[in-house]
């Protein structure tokens, strides 16, 4: 939802408005106490932004041009990324899958989604075991090594990971059916997720901000043209 | 009331692309409230039979199927697996891959939600099922925070919420340490007294003797014995069908492997400390391992056995303390075989698997080829050298891995739970391999819960508890009932 609305706001042209929107989302992050955990991702983004600008500036030998050219693009990018992170870090996967289920999405979609989120830590564990096995066989896995010898990466990580994934997914499928799961049936849920007061408040505030921003954007555009 | 909870008539099954029948003329009738134990060598068809019981075969796994399976008079051919779920629950070997959510409560709600039950009804069932498996206080816990034994009990509870009359368990204790297994079996005993029909498929036989009403032994797809549990006490029957001894520590117990020549230690571990940073740590470990010695490492799950092994193998770096090796010439001192060999096989043939990464060792190609052939022959893998490693059986995978490390001439070989889910026959093969490797003056370290296996291979034991080394000594002294009972309450038997 946030993601979709941010996409619309990415239509805005004025850098000043984009930045204020970015600051807004950042403050929401601070409010929900996830800033520390998302800082790695944001750091990566900033690194990317600085390199992109630096490279363009180096090629064109014109700092102002590079900055002008990239800043609206990067600001939009920043908004989309941070909105996505805000969502990912504040919504438990099970709740998300369940909301979709209640919104009458097909069970096949919601179940698959719930399961794939559930198994991310498991797969991370599998990947760690595989890394350790490679280390035991004396294969060092630095970034340089991967570039120098991509076959190690493919044989050493992708193949065992695919084999494990297939095996695990087979087991999951059997276990699910054994517990009465069927794709085309009507499921019930123990806890209903409903739209609360906060959700309505958040949604209406957000819509209001959007309308104002789009209005301002059009008018500023008009002003700057005249 | 029904005469039989389960009825199997003249069942035959063959997997696609296989020459041999997986099941031949199976006919069994199981009464309500009966505790049935099914055992036999790996590949005897017992897991296949289990999969037929709730319709996984033929609905999910196809093949040539004939005969009939009736679950409370419902033919599995005419009912889908999900229809049968309310009559028959199924618990698998690996608790990790039978969970769909991250919270215990949601996990238990999953099955009743599938049935479309009302929330208050689901609520009641969760409450009841958790109490049945003695996990009442864990309702809001994250499943990742549970121990393996607790996970398996949650798996049982997650099946109980559908109120099935029959429970099928396929090697439920493979990942469990003895105290956790004991707890699980106690719960199964309790469920049986509530007139649940329980069908247990396993290699571990020690609890079957006390719990089962009836034992089926399978061999090459057929039921060859249908008897009282006492049959497990008959040594000839056991040897003949490759079945584990249910009373390892009880009768005529003596360690088999006494060959140790006093030698200069291969490595010395001094005041080793390692911490994961989550509260668990290995603390003050002092230990030495000599060449030609087979050291067994025993301890409950989470006592730090695998962590110790990984520190020795160089996968984890110790925080404090030292590991000193007697000779420092080779950079590949340690080979380690994980519990699940799937993580360690990378290449498309057994030969290439042994060759994998050898260029890092700067061996000449001809030299490497000669060495690989030598090892393939001695490990009895020459015939399989063109096979894909992932198409091999468990034991063959393990041998391939051992060979892959042997090419690098390690000083120490570590095996983490090498006999998980192994029958007597296949375990004996591993025992023979270890005896042979021992003669080549390799240091061997075995992490295991398998007392029968430890008894036959190890010369010395160390016992770990909560990251500390609490006992060390020759196998004959430490592997006794009294001692183990002291170190782990509930290590052996239900009565203790």
Residue A196 lies in a domain: no
Residue A48 lies in a domain: yes
- Residue-level pLDDT at B494: 47
- Residue-level pLDDT at B257: 65
Residue A194 lies in a domain: no
A129 and A144 co-located in one domain:
yes
Q: Is the pLDDT of residue A8 over 70?
A: no
More confident position, A220 or A10? A220
Inter-chain touch B97–A171, beta carbons under 8 Å: yes
The backbone region for B279, taken as left when phi is positive above 0, alpha when psi lies in -120 to 50, beta otherwise, is: left
A71 and A131 co-located in one domain:
no
* ipTM over cut 0.90: no
- Residue-level pLDDT at A185: 75
A83 and A3 co-located in one domain:
yes
Average pLDDT over residues B272-297: 89
- Residue-level pLDDT at A14: 66
> Which domain-ending residue is among A90, A107, A128?
A90
More confident position, B213 or A96? B213
Average pLDDT, chain B: 88
Residue A210 lies in a domain: no
| Number of domains making up chain A | 2
Tell me which chain B residue has its CA closest to the CA of residue A120: B102
Of all residues in chain A, what percent carry a pLDDT higher than 90?
A: 1
Query: Least CB-CB distance to B356: which of A92, A126, A137?
Result: A137
Residues of A in contact with B342 (CB under 8 A): 160, 163-164, 167
- Give me the residue label for tokens 């005969």: B67
Q: Is the pLDDT of residue B237 over 60?
A: yes
Residue A209 lies in a domain: no
A179 and A100 co-located in one domain:
yes
A62 and A13 co-located in one domain:
yes
A83 and A109 co-located in one domain:
no
Side-chain half-sphere exposure of A19, counting CA atoms within 13 A: 5
> Which domain-ending residue is among A90, A105, A125?
A90
Domain residue limits at A57: 1-90
A76 and A101 co-located in one domain:
no
Residue A137 lies in a domain: yes
- Residue-level pLDDT at B71: 94
Q: Is the pLDDT of residue B337 over 80?
A: yes
Name the least confident of A97-106, B100-109, B145-154, B210-219.
Answer: A97-106
Query: Least CB-CB distance to B81: which of A118, A135, A177?
Result: A177
Q: Is the pLDDT of residue B166 over 80?
A: yes
Of all residues in chain B, what percent carry a pLDDT higher than 70?
A: 94
Residue A225 lies in a domain: no
Name the least confident of B55-64, B178-187, B352-361, B372-381.
Answer: B352-361
Between the CA atoms of A100, A104, A109 and A110, what dihedral angle is there, to the nearest 10 degrees?
Answer: 40
Residues of B in contact with A133 (CB under 8 A): 338, 343-344
How many Å lie between the alpha carbon of B155 and the closest alpha carbon of chain A?
10
Inter-chain touch B346–A159, beta carbons under 8 Å: yes
Asked if B386 and B351 count as a contact pair (C-beta separation under 8 A), the reply is yes
Inter-chain touch A187–B113, beta carbons under 8 Å: yes
A82 and A99 co-located in one domain:
no
Residues 6+ apart with CB under 8 A from B257: B294, B435, B438, B456, B457, B458, B459, B475
A117 and A168 co-located in one domain:
yes
* Residue B254 pLDDT level (bands cut at 50, 70, 90): low
Q: Is the pLDDT of residue B132 over 80?
A: yes
A84 and A153 co-located in one domain:
no
More confident position, A131 or A33? A131
Inter-chain touch A130–B343, beta carbons under 8 Å: yes
Q: How many angstroms separate the Cα of B296 from the Cα of each of A84, B47, B216, B454?
A: 50, 30, 33, 7
More confident position, B157 or A13? B157
Inter-chain touch A118–B99, beta carbons under 8 Å: yes
Residue A21 lies in a domain: yes
* Residue B495 pLDDT level (bands cut at 50, 70, 90): very low
Query: Least CB-CB distance to A177: which of B82, B110, B340?
Result: B82
* Residue A226 pLDDT level (bands cut at 50, 70, 90): very low
A84 and A100 co-located in one domain:
no
Name the least confident of A191-200, B2-11, B439-448.
Answer: A191-200
A84 and A152 co-located in one domain:
no
Picking from B55, B71, B82, B348 by the largest number of A CB atoms within 10 A of its own CB, the best residue to mutate is: B82
Q: Is the pLDDT of residue B32 over 60?
A: yes
Rounded distance, CA A138 to CA B360, Å? Answer: 7
Strands B74-75 and B267-275: unpaired
């Amino acid at each position: 939802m946030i993601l979709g609305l941010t996409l619309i706001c990415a239509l805005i042209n004025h850098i000043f408005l984009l930045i204020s929107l970015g600051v807004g989302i950042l403050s929401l992050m601070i409010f929900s106490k996830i800033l520390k955990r998302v800082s790695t991702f944001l750091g990566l983004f900033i690194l990317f932004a600085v390199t992109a600008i630096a490279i363009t500036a180096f090629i064109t030998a014109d700092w102002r041009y590079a900055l002008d050219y990239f800043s609206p693009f990067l600001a939009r990018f920043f908004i989309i990324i941070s909105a996505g992170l805000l969502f990912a870090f504040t919504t438990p996967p099970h709740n998300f899958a369940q909301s979709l289920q209640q919104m009458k999405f097909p069970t096949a979609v919601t179940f698959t989604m719930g399961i794939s989120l559930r198994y991310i830590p498991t797969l991370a564990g599998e990947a760690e075991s595989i890394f350790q096995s490679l280390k035991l066989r004396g294969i060092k896995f630095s970034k340089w090594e991967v570039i120098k010898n991509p076959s190690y990466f493919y044989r050493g990580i992708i193949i065992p990971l695919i084999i494990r994934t297939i095996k695990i997914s087979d087991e999951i499928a059997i276990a699910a059916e054994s517990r009465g799961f069927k794709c085309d049936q009507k499921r019930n849920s123990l806890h209903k997720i409903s739209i609360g007061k906060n959700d309505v408040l958040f949604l209406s505030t957000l819509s209001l901000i959007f309308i104002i921003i789009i209005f301002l954007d059009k008018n500023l555009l008009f002003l700057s043209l005249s | 009331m029904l005469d039989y909870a389960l009825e199997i008539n003249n069942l035959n099954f063959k997997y696609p692309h296989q020459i041999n029948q997986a099941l031949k003329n199976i006919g069994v009738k199981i009464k309500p409230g009966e505790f049935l134990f099914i055992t036999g060598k790996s590949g005897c068809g017992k897991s296949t039979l289990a999969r037929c019981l709730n319709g996984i075969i033929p609905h999910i796994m196809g093949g040539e199927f004939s005969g009939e399976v009736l679950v409370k008079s419902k033919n599995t051919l005419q009912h889908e697996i999900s229809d049968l779920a309310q009559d028959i629950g199924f618990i698998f070997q690996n608790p990790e891959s039978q969970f769909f959510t991250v919270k215990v409560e949601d996990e238990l709600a999953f099955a009743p939600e599938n049935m479309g039950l009302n929330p208050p009804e689901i609520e009641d069932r969760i409450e009841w099922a958790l109490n049945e498996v003695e996990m009442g206080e864990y309702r809001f816990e994250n499943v990742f925070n549970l121990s393996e034994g607790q996970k398996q009990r949650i798996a049982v509870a997650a099946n109980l919420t559908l109120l099935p009359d029959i429970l099928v368990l396929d090697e439920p204790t493979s990942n469990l340490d003895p105290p956790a297994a004991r707890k699980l079996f106690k719960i199964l005993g309790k469920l049986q007294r509530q007139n649940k029909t329980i069908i247990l498929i396993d290699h571990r036989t020690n609890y079957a003797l006390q719990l089962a009403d009836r034992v089926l032994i399978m061999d090459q797809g057929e039921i060859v014995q249908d008897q009282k549990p006492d049959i497990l006490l008959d040594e000839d029957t056991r040897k003949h069908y490759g079945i584990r001894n249910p009373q390892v520590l009880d009768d005529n117990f003596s360690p088999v492997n006494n060959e140790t020549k006093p030698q200069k230690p291969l490595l010395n571990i001094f005041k080793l400390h390692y911490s994961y940073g989550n509260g668990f740590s290995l603390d003050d470990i002092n230990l030495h391992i000599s060449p030609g010695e087979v050291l067994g490492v025993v301890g409950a799950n989470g006592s730090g056995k695998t962590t110790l092994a990984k520190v020795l193998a160089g996968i984890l770096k110790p925080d404090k303390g030292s590991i000193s090796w007697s000779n420092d010439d080779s950079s590949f001192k340690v080979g380690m075989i994980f519990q699940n060999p799937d993580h360690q096989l990378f290449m498309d043939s057994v030969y290439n698997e042994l060759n994998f990464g050898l260029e890092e060792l700067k061996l000449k190609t001809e030299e490497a080829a000669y060495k690989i052939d030598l090892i393939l022959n001695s490990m009895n893998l020459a015939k399989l050298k063109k096979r894909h490693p992932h198409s091999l059986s468990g034991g063959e995978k393990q041998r391939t891995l051992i060979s892959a490390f042997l090419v690098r001439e390690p000083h120490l070989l570590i095996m983490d739970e090498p006999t998980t889910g192994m029958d007597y026959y296949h375990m004996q093969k591993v025992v023979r391999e270890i005896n042979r490797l021992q003669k080549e003056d390799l240091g061997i370290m075995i992490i295991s819960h398998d007392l029968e296996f430890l008894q036959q291979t190890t010369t010395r034991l160390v016992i770990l508890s909560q990251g500390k080394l609490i006992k060390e000594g020759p196998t004959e002294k430490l592997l006794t009932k009294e001692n183990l009972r002291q170190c782990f309450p509930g290590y052996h038997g239900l009565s203790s």
